[in-house]
Structure formats: structure tokens, C-alpha cells
Amino acid sequence: MNSLLLLILTIPLIEIYLFIKVGSYIGAFNTISLILITAIIGVIYARYEGFNTLKSGMSQLIKNQLPIYEIISGAALAFAALLLILPGFATDLIGFFLIFPFTRRLIFKKFKNKYPEKNNQKQDFINGEFEDIDEDKNGKI
């Protein structure tokens, strides 16, 4: 919970710092225009990539395969679109990294290496414990 609180506090501070720095170089109007332009372009491209991911997922379903990558990719695209809508340069940068398929695959590979897959192979036996129960004098259990 502390890391979430730290993120809630540091992200706006980083964004404010970047607004001031970029605004001092290119001016306030250009800074606001740049924020709006990145949001619009990012959301349009996120929509385009979302449709591509949906089309790829449908082709996986037609082949009777589970579209795991497409599901995760769709969630990442939705998060990227949210980051691009939020005003700021740092969130836009992270959003653009998640939108482009090449960088998205690199990020997914990094997490896949960090959290390896569990072996979910079908087994023909059930693990369990047992206990021998002695019969009473009458033969009842």
C-alpha cells in the first residue's frame, strides 16, 4: 500500500516539474497544445491498435486457441489510452511505450521472465492423503 501512496504523490510532482521545465523552453501555449496533441494522437492510435488486437484475438478464437496475448495486450492498450488522456509528459511517454507493439512485447517479455508460467499440465492422478480405518467388532466402519 505504501508504493501506491508513493505513486499517487510522486507522479503529479514529476508532471508539474516537467510542465514547468518544458513550458519555460517552449512557452505555456505551446506546452498546453503539445499535451492536447499527444492525447488526441495517442487515443486515436490506441483505438487503431485496439481494433488490430481485437481482430487478432478473433482469429485466435476461430482457430480454437485461447487469445492470452491479445487479452493482456487489450488491457495494456486500455491502460495506455488512460495514461495518454491524463495530462502530462511522463504519463504520455509510458502510454506511448505501451501502445506500440514492439515495446509492448518487450515489456511483456520482461514481466514473463520475472514471473515464470506455472506448469498447468493435465495430470491423470489426484494428490491426496488417506488414513486406514479399523473396523469395529460388528464389522461396521
Cβ-based neighbours of 26, under 8 Å, separated by 6 or more: 34
- Write out pLDDT tens, residues 36-68: 998 898 889 888 988 988 898 899 889 988 888
Task: Evaluate whether 15 touches 93 at the Cβ level (below 8 Å).
Answer: no
- Write out pLDDT tens, residues 98-121: 888 899 888 888 887 777 766 555
Q: Please count the residues of the chain.
A: 141
- Write out pLDDT tens, residues 10-22: 988 999 999 999 9
Tell me the whole-structure pTM to 2 decimals.
0.71
Buried b (16+ CB within 10 A) or exposed e, 3-37: eeeeeeeeeeeebeebbeebeeeeeeeebeeebee
Dihedral, CA of residue 116, residue 55, residue 77 and residue 70, to nearest 10: -10
